[in-house]
């Protein structure tokens, strides 16, 4: 049994509304709830993503299509990262082929081949070799 309730509740006249109670505690609670997004009751709500206040309709959570997209992208990025981590754990990548340097068949420069069947140091040398093959 609280003394406050019996004192305030039944006097009438003085206190018209519980939520507008003149006590300072009531005021600060009101302000806190407004900052927490209670604006929704007045048609204004804050964007879940960027926090901007906007007039939403229905169950809109975001101020704009852009914010909705950002949330979508971020959520899917998380999912994709988790998926990739899981996949990497299940199927570790084969170690990269390390090939000994060899001499370019076109210019003679030593180079480190990226593929086992690489014959030229660069696309240019490959092209030069191609030209020579077809012009002799
Ligand atoms: Zn927003
Ligand atoms: Zn070369």
Which ligand sits nearest to residue 118's alpha carbon? 2
pLDDT, averaged per 10 consecutive residues of the chain (136 residues), comes to 50 52 50 49 82 88 93 93 92 80 95 90 95 84
Residue with the two structure tokens 């519980």: 18
| Cut 0.85: pTM above it | no
pLDDT, residue 31, reads 52
The pair of three-digit structure tokens given for residue 12, joined into one six-digit string: 């009438």
In the prediction, which pLDDT does 43 show? 74
Domain parsing of the chain, residue ranges: 1-36, 46-93, 102-134
120 CA distance to ligand 2 middle (Å): 5
- The closest of 43, 45, 44, 51 to 67, measured between CA atoms, is 51
The ligand minimizing its distance to the Cα of 50 is 1
| Cα distance between residue 106 and residue 120, in whole Å | 6
């Amino acid at each position: 049994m609280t003394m406050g309730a019996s004192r305030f509740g039944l006097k009438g006249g003085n206190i018209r509304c519980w939520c507008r109670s003149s006590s300072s505690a009531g005021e600060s609670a009101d302000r806190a709830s407004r900052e927490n997004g209670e604006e929704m009751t007045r048609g204004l709500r804050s964007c879940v993503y960027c926090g901007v206040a906007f007039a939403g309709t229905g169950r809109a959570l975001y101020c704009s299509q852009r914010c909705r997209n950002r949330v979508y992208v971020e959520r899917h990025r998380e999912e994709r990262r988790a998926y990739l981590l899981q996949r990497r754990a299940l199927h570790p990548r084969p170690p990269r082929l390390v090939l000994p340097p060899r001499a370019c068949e076109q210019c003679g420069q030593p180079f480190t081949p990226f593929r086992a069947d690489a014959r030229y140091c660069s696309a240019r040398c490959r092209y030069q070799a191609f030209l020579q093959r077809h012009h002799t």
